[in-house]
Structure 1
């Protein structure tokens, strides 16, 4: 199997940086839940449906999709048989740019990495320090 050309990989990456102006009726944003293998991914749609999607050929071996990341999917017509319900037509690389778009679903909130209201930060950390010796208690 031949490796994709460098310019093909760059073109695939560049298309995923810029979000489209608007989505069609069959397109939707989805969160990747699990990589199933053979370019198949289980994704969560904004309406809480979990479906199986196939990665578009131009992104194979060019873009890495992480679990919890976002993708733009195109749902296949209902007449299609099989487990695969559509195709991943774009990968969200610059999430900040995509979130600015009006079609970004409210069901996918911004991730919270840490609580700034932790009051435990005032205490001194004991990581990497020796435990207190018993000599201080022996007075």
Structure 2
């Protein structure tokens, strides 16, 4: 299967209106961090954190960011990786699950940040205005000349 065909099938599977609630062994979790190699650290409704893997069909086709919600299947024999992502939830899924009372109570108290509410980048240097206004700098423009020797 070509990459374009695979992407078409994966996107079709995600975008279809499958609003079925999670099965008894599945659970809804929130993505906390990407740990590399398609592993994600997640938080369960009981505040426990563990690692889950992204299956091959989603790799290089779907990107998951921090704060997204997914449905996982637990891996019983897993030591480091305790689950596998089955479904990535969209905003429509979340609204439907809340209306259907299938949404975990631990996640209802917290609001997700939308794409418009981007956190401030703390890695940029802060510039501080020292508050001094020197009027001498702008009033005496005749002291400066351009490259052709003319006064400005």
Q: Distance in 1 between matches of 2:82 and 2:40?
A: 11
Q: Secondary structure at the match of 1:51?
A: strand
Q: Secondary structure at the match of 1:73?
A: strand
Q: Select which of 84, 87, 92 maps to 1:90.
A: 87
Q: Residue 100 of structure 1 corresponds to which residue in structure 2?
A: 96
Q: Residue 12 of structure 2 corresponds to which residue in structure 1?
A: 14
Q: Residue 112 of structure 2 corresponds to which residue in structure 1?
A: 111
Where do residues 1-139 of structure 1 align in structure 2 (5 Å cutoff)? 5-17=3-15, 18-77=17-76, 80-92=77-89, 94-101=90-97, 102=100, 103-109=102-108, 110-111=111-112
Q: Which has the larger radius of gyration?
A: 2
Maintained 8 Å contact 1:26/1:76: no
5+ residue gaps, structure 1, are 114-130, 134-139
Could you tell me how far 1:22 is from its partner in structure 2?
A: 2.4
Instruction: Name the Cα RMSD after superposition.
Output: 2.6
- Structure 1 runs of 4+ off > 4 angstroms? none
Could you tell me how far 1:14 is from its partner in structure 2?
A: 2.6
TM-score, normalised relative to structure 1: 0.69
Q: Distance in 2 between matches of 1:41 and 1:84?
A: 9
Q: Residue 123 of structure 2 corresponds to which residue in structure 1?
A: none
Maintained 8 Å contact 1:12/1:59: yes
Q: Distance in 2 between matches of 1:99 and 1:30?
A: 15
Q: How many residues align?
A: 114
